[in-house]
Structure 1
Amino acid sequence: MNKGKLFIISAPSGAGKTSLIKKLIPHMDKLIVSVSHTTRARRPGEIDAIDYFFTSVDTFKKMIHQQAFLEYAQVFDNFYGTAQSSVEQSLNSGKDVILEIDWQGAEQIRRILPDSISIFILPPSTEVLRRRLKERGQDGEAVIDRRMQDAVNEMSHYAEYDYLIVNDDFNTALTELKSIILANRLNIQRQQEKLKVLLVDLLV
C-alpha cells in the first residue's frame, strides 16, 4: 500500500487555517486531520476527540515523559501535542494526514520526518487579522493585542515552509491548498508505487 504523506499547516491565529481545512476535508478522499492533545479549555461547540483530545496538564506532562508525542509546544499558556502512534498508523494505512501546528511544532516535525510537506497561511493584512479575531467574539481587547503580537512572531517563520498561501479570498485560498495536496499526490515516487502494475503493462 502506498504510504500517505504528512502535510504541516501553520498560520497565525485568525488567518483562517482551521476554516480552510474543514472545508477541504469533505472534498478529498484519504485525507484526515490529526487530532491533537491540548490542555486549554474547551470552547463552545468543540467536541472531545473530534476537535482536540482535551486533557489535564498532569496527564500531558506524563505523556511527554513517556515520549508519546511526535511534537509538542506551549502556546498561550497551554500545551499542544501530536501523538506519534496515531499519525504513523494513519500514514501507514495510505491516508494523507494534516497537522495544524505552530512553527515550533513544525520545526520538530521536520527534524523527525524531513519528507513532510509544510504550508504556511498568511492573512492579507494586519487590519484584516485583527478584525477576524474581534469577529470571533471570544476574546477581550487585551487578549487580542497579545494574539496580534504573537502573530507577528509566528509569521516571521514563513520562509521555513515549502508553500505560502495568502487567505484573502477564501475560495482562492482553498483552491490553492487543494492544488498543493493534489500535486504532491502526483509526484513520481507516489505514482510509480500506485501505478506499478499499469507501468509494467505499458512497457512490455
Structure 2
Amino acid sequence: MTLRLNIGCGRSPTPDWINYDNSLAVRLARVPVLARLLAWFGLIDPYGLEFVDFCRHHRIRSANAARRIPQAAGSVEAIYASHMLEHLDRREARSFLAECRRVLIPGGVLRVVLPDLRDAAFNYLRSGDADAFLRHLQFDLDRPRGAGRLRLLLSGGRGHRWMYDRDSLISLIEAAGFVDVQAMAEGQTLIRRPGKLDLHERGGDSLVVEARNP
C-alpha cells in the first residue's frame, strides 16, 4: 500500500494522509506534563501550548524532513509541502528534495506550495513600503533578547531562510532530478488520489509547483 504525506503540516493536517511537522510542539505532544511545565516558566506561550494539544489530538508525527523522511524507499505516492520549503536554507532544501525522491514511487507526485517572491516584489514596487515588504518576507531579522533567546533554542527559528519565484523553484526541483515540473493553477493537481487534500490552501498569495519522480 502506497502512502501520502503532508510534510510541515503545522495547523493544517490532511485527513487520511500521514502528517509530519518538525515543530517542538509535536515532540512535546508526547510529554504534555513537560509542555505545561515549560508554559509555567513562560517558555511556551498559551498559543504554543494550545498547538501542543492540537498536535496530540491530530496525531501529527515528528520528522526533520531535511534530514530524513521516516518512510521506506519507493513507498510514497504523493508528498505535499505547503509553506515549508522557504523555512529551509539552500542545503536543507536540496536535502529535502533528495529525500522526497528517495521515498516517492516512480511517477509519484511532489506538490510544493510557498509564498511567491515575484508577487511580493511587485507589491513592494506598487506600495514603496520597504518595511512592509521586509515584514512580508518574514526573515529572522530581529535578534531575540532575554527569555526570547531561550525560546529560540527550544523551538528553533521560525522565519524564512530563502524565497522563490516560479522559475527559481522549478529550477531547484529540476536540479533535484524531478521531471514534468510545472506551475499549477489553484485547485489543480497531478495527484491521482488527493482525497481531502486542500487544493486551495493559502490560495491567492502562493505559488504552486508540482513534479513527478522519474
Coarse TM-score class (shorter-chain normalised) = 0.3 to 0.5
Would you tell me which structure has more helix in proportion to its own residues? 1
TM-score normalized by the length of structure 1: 0.37
TM-score normalized by the length of structure 2: 0.36
Relative CO higher for 1 or 2, CA cutoff 8 Å, sep ≥ 6? Answer: 1
